[in-house]
Amino acid sequence: RYISQDPIGLAGGENAYSYVPDPLAWIDPLGLTSCQLGEALEKAGVFRPENTAAHHIVAESAKRAEPARKILEKYGIDINGAMNGVFLPTNKNTSKLPGIMHNGRHPNDYINEVNKRLRNADKIGTKEAIEAELKNIANILSNADRNANWKTILQQL
């Protein structure tokens, strides 16, 4: 165990220091969950264009994404499974490949919109409805302009 300060003040609460019970479960310093997601997408037959990153539609560790993660869990959808992913271009991608630029971070506005969309799909009460919404979000992200804004990308439609 160790104690660390919340460096950017997002989760500190009244106490900016806290015990971390399992640092390997709380952070992914090597980016291995993106590797798992990429492998799952490829295994599902999704072509991986050069200089793209596997993007989690529902963020795997952001605190605000907990409602969406619970919905995925409710329907047995793996957070690192192909259904929760899409390949997006990185800043090294110079092709004309469409898709919003992958930045590695899920802005709060994006997370809130994913939560809202999955809550609405959950009202239907079927796994198919959740999967359809995940596919819809993946299509929006992968067909967007490269310089689209992450904060508003899902609010535009």
Is residue 105 a part of any domain in this protein? yes
How is residue 20 written in tokens?
């971390």
43-89: pLDDT as tens digits: 999 999 999 999 999 999 899 999 999 999 999 999 999 999 999 99
19-36: pLDDT as tens digits: 544 444 444 443 445 688
Confidence category of residue 141, pLDDT binned at 50, 70, 90? very high
Is residue 40 a part of any domain in this protein? yes
Is residue 152 a part of any domain in this protein? no
pLDDT at 117 over 90: yes
How is residue 79 written in tokens?
């957070």
Please give the C-alpha separations between residue 125 and each of 59, 71, 75, 118, 128, in angstroms, as whole numbers.
22, 10, 9, 11, 9
Range of the domain at 60: 3-143
Is residue 151 a part of any domain in this protein? no
Predicted structure pTM score: 0.78
The number of domains in the chain is 1
- Please classify residue 154 by burial: count the beta carbons closer than 10 Å to its beta carbon, then call 0-12 exposed, 13-18 middle and 19+ buried: buried
